[in-house]
Copies of this chain bind each other. A is one copy, B any other.
Amino acid sequence: MSRSNPRVVSVLERAGGFASAQEVYRLMQREGESIGLTTVYRSLQSLVNDKIVDVLRREDGEAIYRLCGGAHHHHLVCKGCGETIEIEGGAIEKWAKTMAEEFGFRDVGHTAEIFGLCPKC
């Protein structure tokens, strides 16, 4: 059932930072790899499910993907140039845990992102 595609992973590796599904597709085409856009979308979804890939949104709403080091972390993203910094979320982890307990929630996860303009922009 795992549709995680090693060829897509390889492209993300070479791409370095974030890339959209469309970009991954174009890259593979340019390099002469034969793949369908649908498969790119499915592979990326699968990689996200398997937590091998992070997904965020560009300001225009397009989804962008990136290989994610296993460690849990959060992001500080520049709205101008897209630069992304991985940051510690110690305070968040505690907050999420506290809130979940207070309301009796189990099996809890969370998301947290900060976005603004970096010094260069």
Interface residues of A in 11-61 (CB under 8 A from B): 57, 61
Decide if A68 is an interface residue (CB 8 Å cutoff): no
Distance between Cα atoms of A43 and B72 in the complex (Å): 36
Q: Is the CB of A114 within 8 A of B104?
A: no
Per-residue interface assignment for chain A, residues 95 to 121, with 1 indicating a CB less than 8 Å from any chain B CB and 0 otherwise: 110011001111111111111111100
* A121 to B: closest C-beta gap in Å: 9
Distance between Cα atoms of A57 and B57 in the complex (Å): 8
Distance between Cα atoms of A116 and B109 in the complex (Å): 6
Q: Is the CB of B114 within 8 A of A108?
A: yes
How many copies of this chain are found per oligomer?
Answer: 2
Distance between Cα atoms of A94 and B92 in the complex (Å): 10
Distance between Cα atoms of A104 and B120 in the complex (Å): 9
Taking CB atoms, residues of chain B closer than 8 Å to A118 are: 103-105
* A89 to B: closest C-beta gap in Å: 7
Most buried by B among A61, A95, A114: A114
Q: List 11 A-B contacts (CB under 8 A).
A: A76-B99, A85-B103, A91-B95, A96-B114, A99-B114, A103-B118, A105-B119, A108-B117, A109-B114, A110-B114, A110-B115
